Structure 1
Amino acid sequence: MSTISMRGTTLGAVGLAVSATLALTGCKNGNEELPAAQPSSSASGPSQPASPSAQPSTPAAPSSSSSASADAGASPVPGANGTATSGQVFKIGEAAQIPFDYGSTKGGRIALTVTAIEQGNPADLDALKLGDKVKGMIPYYVRYSVQNTGTVDLSHTSVGHIKGLLPDGSEAQGVSIIGKFEKCPNESLPKGFTNGKTQAGCALALAPSAQTKVTGAQYWGEPYNILSKNKELVWK
């Protein structure tokens, strides 16, 4: 599924790579999201607009399952050593124990919890300057927390691959934001993110209309994706 990509909160509108209907049928390989146009410069706040230019959205860093054994508690195999099983379904508020790699950081282990799914106001999207491309859509904020449960320092890594789900199980339209969006902050893990440290995050999802709600969420990072021949983790 493709996403609407934005950099900052005051930039001009950017186009959807494909229509919303086609976006929901896009495949996922666990290492990247289908790219969409996004501006090239970052804005630090509402008073600093920038001119957009097209470039692919930054993909999530690929995982290396062969290196996961560097952490004694991590495993690339869903269901091994207490990790969540392929396709496992959790209730909102329940934690999934998952292996985690990011770039050169290998063998991590985190507890990922979808803590809430909150409906926003369509006016919230005005800050993203997406105009008619999100007309009629309703924003939802998928709130989650990440706890380092392994022995690897996860400083400056990022946990992505989180999507909203509609009642029929299909994916809600995602929005990739580079910069600050106060309604849904999603920052990299801070320096010194060692065992026991926790940070909250947020993923923005769009319901197609007021009659359809975002009722669930999924995680499709390694090893819970098509590339690894496993199913996504689901919260609902």
Structure 2
Amino acid sequence: MNSSASRTSMRALAGLAVVGALTLTACNDNASSDATKSAAPTAAAPAPTSAAPTTPAAAPTTAAPSTPAAAPTASAPAAGGAPGTDAAAGTAAKIGDTLQVPFSSGSTKGTITLTVTSIEAGTQADLDSLKLGDKAKGLMPYYIHYKFTNVGATDLSYSSLTKIRGLLPDGSGAQDVALFGSFPKCSGKSLPAGFTNGQSAEGCTVSLAPAASKVAGAEYWSEPYTLGKGVVWK
């Protein structure tokens, strides 16, 4: 007998064994019943008592389906590029958006994230303390507020962020004002000691626009960007 026939015979025998077991169980139940009947006296048997009702089996409980785990949400990239990437020259962001940009101040170079948070209009009277004389005639000051964070490995202590200028509505540059000493309306201080990775600071720069116009945006043009080819907020 070949191996295939042998396996077929074994499966058949296994099937007969199962059937035999089932048949044997049924026969045993009948045999027990027959033995009980044959042992009973010939006198009339008393009326059979009612079998106690069996308690129905508890209905199987259905397991509640598990709630699928929420899909992980990807962190949104900073405006102008993926996280950890410097914004390309010419990137245009909205005021309030954050860009990662290179930082350069003299021989100090690093990486920061920079946000132009607001552009606030001032008054001509604000300029009196600057003693600009006729240079400020017909011009209105605007205060560009920004926030930046050191995200690189370089300690930026005592350096200054100065390469931010105002932009007029047509994209041309507004007139810059170099601040020396104290000007409460707009303070642009050098960075403190210990300005290492994770440290943040806020600053302000002043730009002047003709009274008939306004400062509508700002440009950051520090190296490796160039003036007119930096990153802008509008």
TM-score by length of 2: 0.62
The higher relative CO (CA closer than 8 Å, separation ≥ 6) is in 1
Q: AA paired with 2:186?
A: C
- String of CA shifts for 1:124-156, please: whole Å, max 9, x gaps: 000001122211111000001111111211100
Which structure: greater helix fraction?
A: 2
Q: What are the ranges of 5 or more consecutive residues in structure 1 without an aligned counterpart?
A: 1-77
Q: Secondary structure at the match of 2:179?
A: strand
> Is residue 86 of structure 2 the alignment partner of residue 83 of structure 1?
yes
CA distance in 2, matches of 1:213, 1:181: 21
TM superposition shift of 1:79: 8.9
Pairing 1:104–2:107 present: yes
Instruction: Indicate conservation of the 8 Å contact 1:98/1:109, yes or no.
Output: yes
Instruction: Give runs of ≥4 in structure 1 deviating > 4 Å.
Output: 78-81
Q: Structure 1 residues 166 and 124, CA, compared in 2 at 3 Å: closer, same or farther?
A: same
User: For structure 2, which runs of at least 5 residues remain unmatched after alignment?
Assistant: 1-80
Q: What pairs with 1:1-236 in structure 2 (closer than 5 Å)? A: 82-106=85-109, 108-209=110-211, 211-225=212-226, 231-236=229-234
CA deviation map 1:31-81 (0-9, x unaligned): xxxxxxxxxxxxxxxxxxxxxxxxxxxxxxxxxxxxxxxxxxxxxxx9995
Deviations 1:150-202 (A, max 9, x none): 12111001111111011111111110112111111000010011111111111
2:111 is paired with a residue of what secondary structure?
Answer: strand
Identity of aligned residues (%): 55
- Alignment deviations for residues 66-106 of structure 1 (CA, whole Å, 9 cap, x no partner): xxxxxxxxxxxx99951101100011011110122323323
Of structures 1 and 2, the larger Rg is shown by 2
How many angstroms apart in 1 are the aligned matches of 2:144 and 2:173?
13
- Contact 2:104–2:222 (8 Å) recurs in 1: no
TM-score, normalized by length of structure 1? 0.62
The whole-number CA distance in structure 1 between the counterparts of 2:216 and 2:231 is 14
